[in-house]
């Protein structure tokens, strides 16, 4: 039995919640573990996700039909290659309106493709309400919630707040020191390459801080992937 083809829709209705960072971390997790991915960036102006992976990520402008075809038709290919979609906050409504009008999620399941929503949360009630609306509209689609302290700090009650989301999994991304954050924002910086070959010219303090931040995130992704694999085994069994 062939493995499923997953589509990871990384999204938030609000800006500055760390959507592109989450998409980037997931992409580098695949590269670090020796696997390819296909990515899509719905921000046609700055394209932050595509800029880090120009060979892997397609920019899809959802304001025109060509961009919509480039995204949605390619997401429906059941070729076992994971797909990662960075849904820009300004593309949020268009993305899900198209998904609804085309019955995208139903078509995906009919073709053996499994969409999964990675919802980047913030501390607002409107964020929670939006996630609940997605769950009501598409109850069969898996969802995980992401809390990024550096992008959208929630505060002391972050875990309790994130656990209110209708999600099967919670990801925590800790805040980074500004000095370390500046390093990862460099246009040629790669998380996967950093883990494979730490840069000699990098401060050993920065190197240690970055590893201490990055490894728990990759461990969370590994645990998440294992859970999906176990679900697949039960499904195919």
Annotated domain spans of the chain: 5-176
Please state which CATH class domain 5-176 belongs to.
alpha beta
pLDDT score at 91:
97
| Percentage of the residues of the chain whose pLDDT score is greater than 70 | 97
Q: What is the pTM for the complete model shown?
A: 0.95
pLDDT score at 232:
66
Alpha carbon distance 105, 114 (integer Å): 8
Q: Distances from the Cα of 129 to the Cαs of 38, 139, 155, 166, in angstroms?
A: 30, 15, 19, 10
Of the pLDDT bands very low, low, confident and very high (cuts 50, 70, 90), residue 201 is confident
Q: Count the neighbouring beta carbons within 10 Å of the beta carbon of residue 113.
A: 21
Across 170-196, average pLDDT: 96
- CB-count exposure of residue 155 (10 Å: 0-12, 13-18, 19+): exposed
Q: How confident is the model over 97-109, as pLDDT tens digits? A: 999 999 999 999 9
Query: Counting every residue, how long is the chain?
Result: 237
φ, ψ at 148 (rounded to 5°): -110, 105
Angle, helix 65-75 to helix 92-101, in steps of 10 degrees: 60
pLDDT score at 236:
47
Give yes or no for residue 228 having a pLDDT over 80.
yes
Give yes or no for residue 8 having a pLDDT over 80.
yes
Of the pLDDT bands very low, low, confident and very high (cuts 50, 70, 90), residue 142 is very high
pLDDT score at 9:
98
Q: How confident is the model over 21-69, as pLDDT tens digits? A: 999 999 999 999 999 999 999 999 999 999 999 999 999 999 999 999 9
Give yes or no for residue 20 having a pLDDT over 90.
yes
Give yes or no for residue 111 having a pLDDT over 50.
yes
Residue 7 near residue 77, CB atoms below 8 Å: no
């Amino acid at each position: 039995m062939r493995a499923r083809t997953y589509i990871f829709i990384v999204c938030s209705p609000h800006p500055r919640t760390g959507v592109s960072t989450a998409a980037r971390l997931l992409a580098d997790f695949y590269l670090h573990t020796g696997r390819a991915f296909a990515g899509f960036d719905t921000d046609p102006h700055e394209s932050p996700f595509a800029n880090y992976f120009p060979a892997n990520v397609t920019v899809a402008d959802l304001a025109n039909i060509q961009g919509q075809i480039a995204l949605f038709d390619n997401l429906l290919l059941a070729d076992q290659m994971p797909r990662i979609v960075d849904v820009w906050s300004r593309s949020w409504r268009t993305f899900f309106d198209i998904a609804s009008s085309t019955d995208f999620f139903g078509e995906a399941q009919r073709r053996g493709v499994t969409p999964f929503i990675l919802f980047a949360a913030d501390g607002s009630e409107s964020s929670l309400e939006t996630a609940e609306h997605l769950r009501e509209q598409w109850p069969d689609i898996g969802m995980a919630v992401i809390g990024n302290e550096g992008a959208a700090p929630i505060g002391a009650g972050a875990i309790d707040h994130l656990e209110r989301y209708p999600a099967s999994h919670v990801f925590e991304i800790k805040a980074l020191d500004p000095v370390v954050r500046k390093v990862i924002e460099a246009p040629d910086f790669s998380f996967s390459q950093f883990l494979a070959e730490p840069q000699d010219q990098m401060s050993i303090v920065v190197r240690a801080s970055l590893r201490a931040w990055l490894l728990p995130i990759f461990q969370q992704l590994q645990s998440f992937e294992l859970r999906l694999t176990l679900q697949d085994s039960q499904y195919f069994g």
